[in-house]
Amino acid sequence: MKQRTSLFGFLGGIEGLAVAGVLILLYAVLIITATPVFTGYRIYMSFLQTVPPILVCALGLTLVITAGEIDLSFPAVVALSGFIFAWVFKNFHSPLAPWVGFILALACGALVGYVNGLLVAKIGVPSIMATLASQFFWYGVTILLANGLQLDIAGVTTNIVHTIFVGRVFKVVPMQGFWSLGLTIFLWFILNRHKFGEEIMFIGDNANVAQVMGIDVAATKMKLFIWMGVIAAFAGLLLTLEINVFYPTQGGGFLLPTMAAVFIGGTSIAGGLGSMFGTLFGAYIIGSLEAGIVATTISGYWVQLMEGLVMAASISLNAVLAAGNVSNFSTRIQRWFKPMRANHNGEESQKDDTVSR
Amino acid sequence: MAKSPVKASALRMVNVEKYFGSVCALKKINLEVGHNEIVGLIGDNGAGKSTMVKILTGVFPPTSGELYIAGRKVDLRSYNVKQAHAHGIETVYQDKSLGEKQVLWRNFFIGREMTLPFGFLDVKKEKEIANEIMVNTIGFRGKGITVDSRVSKLSGGERQGVAIGRAMHFDAELIILDEPTVALSLKEVAKVLNFVHKIKEAGKACIFITHAMADVYEVSDRFVIMDRGEVVADIAKKDISLKALDEFLLEYSHGMKDKAER
């Protein structure tokens, strides 16, 4: 059976393409309006350095939102993991210390995720409340442990961990750009080609169906929150390594941009479907807006207004191109051009079925 | 009772009871479904039909009683959904058999994925088999429906067809249809009944749960009527016409009502 595919249907089927289009359009506009800045390579290198921590969080959050849950606690994990690494690095001078700190930081992320999972999957607290409480709690823990002080780890710049994760390839391209891209591809495979990802999609789609088909819903959610914790901890590590300092409120501004990146990327708030590449481009849209608008030399007061506009536009585009709307949209266009033929083709009779349902 | 002399009955429930706290949902249920027999299970809301389905499919255990599948006794302490699948019990629900936003090939294998090493899905093989089920087992001739279509594009009857086809593919001994025709148009109901005929042709047993008499009469070999947690009648199709069955049920429900008022 060959399905009649329209151009719109075909393009809409490529994951993240619409969002990529918005990103390219955004850069095109910025190249015209802020020519000196956006024709040089430096601004792009700077995006590759500032966007990855948010992108990494957003990738994890894409999994969580696909499962029909939410995690608000990841900003606290960004702070906690940064602290763990910085503290171990400062207090131990063995050459292994940075690696131990790195692993410990990821383990702490897993711990936070585990506690979130217990609250949500075992006790049954709605995830928005459980993880909100958890955000407060773990920020509190971090501030207590750090005595409210920042930790300067300038010495890390010569360390191999620094080189591997946030070094510069050919002295220009930030490594974290590659790590976050690699994670995007890896998590795409997990979500779309792995048992775990399929379970996540079915749980987000309809937890009852998942249960009667033999999925252990509670265990899968548990696993999911642990993944989210580890991924957020990795984001915290990228951030702390890049800026060579831990500060107790780090990650504080991450929540809204991260969620915006996921939704701009086309992941449905209703759960069931998630788009990793959409999130990738969404994060770069969010991360490029502020610097971009400032570079156009229009007043800084415009920044938020423009951000809101671009977000609304890309989310609307996603809604139009979302599965189901694509074919409606393209048949509508065909009907404008060939009103008589459209009334007699197969899709019309199928529509009748839909109505009678 | 249409019990085959060679094959053990597909399902036998002996004195199964279920209490929720002190509320008795099922009272000493004894039910047998023969090999390749289609049993229509009829009862009003609250008759205990869904409780029974949930016990059979391993969602929760009964308070007491015994369960035999294809002659083998089931250990109810370790019985769960996966065990039920392993024993060959497949269930098609009114509305929760399929993930609506997911593509068809995922729906065929959810919970029983074909995997490559490290838990990655063997997408190519899953799609091949899904296509095979759609074309050969359920005879899908739906326009423009492929294994890559999303369930939300299918009509209600087609969805039940997919769920039934899936059940047949996994070599079910017994397929439980839990009110599969509720909320469907007449045309779609006809499609579902056609799928039920295919179950019979394939030599499987089936429990068809419903309160729509006309649907179940055509396809069933025998009728079991439940009320308030009890089996109140067990009638072979050859012993009763649709009209008589209808009247019996009406009388029965009126009788119960009168008794309650008295």
On whether any CB of chain A is under 8 Å from the CB of B62, the answer is no
On whether any CB of chain B is under 8 Å from the CB of A332, the answer is no
Query: CB distance B97–A209 less than 8 Å?
Result: yes
Nearest C-alpha in B relative to A323: B150
- Which of A144-148, A315-319, B160-164 has the highest mean predicted lDDT (pLDDT)? A144-148
- Domain membership of residue B166 (yes or no) is no
Element (H, E) at A173: strand A173-174
Place of tokens 């047998």: B32
Residue A340 pLDDT class (50, 70, 90 cuts): very low
**Cα–Cα dist A270/A107, whole Å:** 30
Residue B141 clears pLDDT 80, i.e. is over it: no
Number of structural domains chain B divides into: 1
Residue A24 clears pLDDT 70, i.e. is over it: yes
- Domain membership of residue B187 (yes or no) is yes
pLDDT, residue A330, reads: 58
- Which of A94-98, A276-280, A348-352 has the highest mean predicted lDDT (pLDDT)? A276-280
Range scoring the smallest mean pLDDT among A211-215, A258-262, B141-145, B248-252: B141-145
Element (H, E) at A168: strand A168-169
- Domain membership of residue B167 (yes or no) is no
On whether any CB of chain B is under 8 Å from the CB of A3, the answer is yes
**Cα–Cα dist A101/A78, whole Å:** 14
pLDDT, residue A150, reads: 92
CATH number of the domain bearing residue B52: 3.40.50.300
pLDDT digits (tens, 9 = 90+) for A119-174: 999 999 999 999 999 999 999 999 999 999 999 998 888 899 999 999 998 888 99
- Domain membership of residue B138 (yes or no) is no
Please tell me whether residue A331 adopts helix, strand or coil conformation. helix
- Domain membership of residue B192 (yes or no) is yes
Residue B85 pLDDT class (50, 70, 90 cuts): confident
Query: CB distance B153–A198 less than 8 Å?
Result: no
- Domain membership of residue B150 (yes or no) is no
- Domain membership of residue B36 (yes or no) is yes
Q: What domain range includes position B217? A: 11-99+172-261
pLDDT, residue A352, reads: 40
Please tell me whether residue A179 adopts helix, strand or coil conformation. helix
- The CA distances from residue A82 to A321, B32, B67, in Å, are 39, 64, 56
On whether any CB of chain B is under 8 Å from the CB of A210, the answer is yes
Residues 6+ positions from A253 with CB-CB distance below 8 Å: A75
Which tokens in the block code for residue B22?
């002190």
pLDDT digits (tens, 9 = 90+) for B210-255: 877 777 888 888 988 888 888 888 888 888 888 888 888 777 766 6
Which tokens in the block code for residue B157?
């009857």
B186 alpha carbon, distance to own chain's centre:
20
B147 alpha carbon, distance to own chain's centre:
24
pLDDT digits (tens, 9 = 90+) for A216-230: 999 999 999 999 999
- Domain membership of residue B2 (yes or no) is no
What phi, psi does B93 have (nearest 5°)?
-95, 165
Beta bridge partners of B208: B40, B177
Residues 6+ positions from A61 with CB-CB distance below 8 Å: A70, A71, A74, A228, A258, A259, A262, A279
Nearest C-alpha in B relative to A322: B101
Is the ipTM, as predicted for this complex, more than 0.85? no
Buried b (16+ CB within 10 A) or exposed e, A125-149: bebeebbeebbeebbebbeeebeee
Option in B119, B143, B152 nearest A350 (CB): B143
On whether any CB of chain B is under 8 Å from the CB of A352, the answer is no
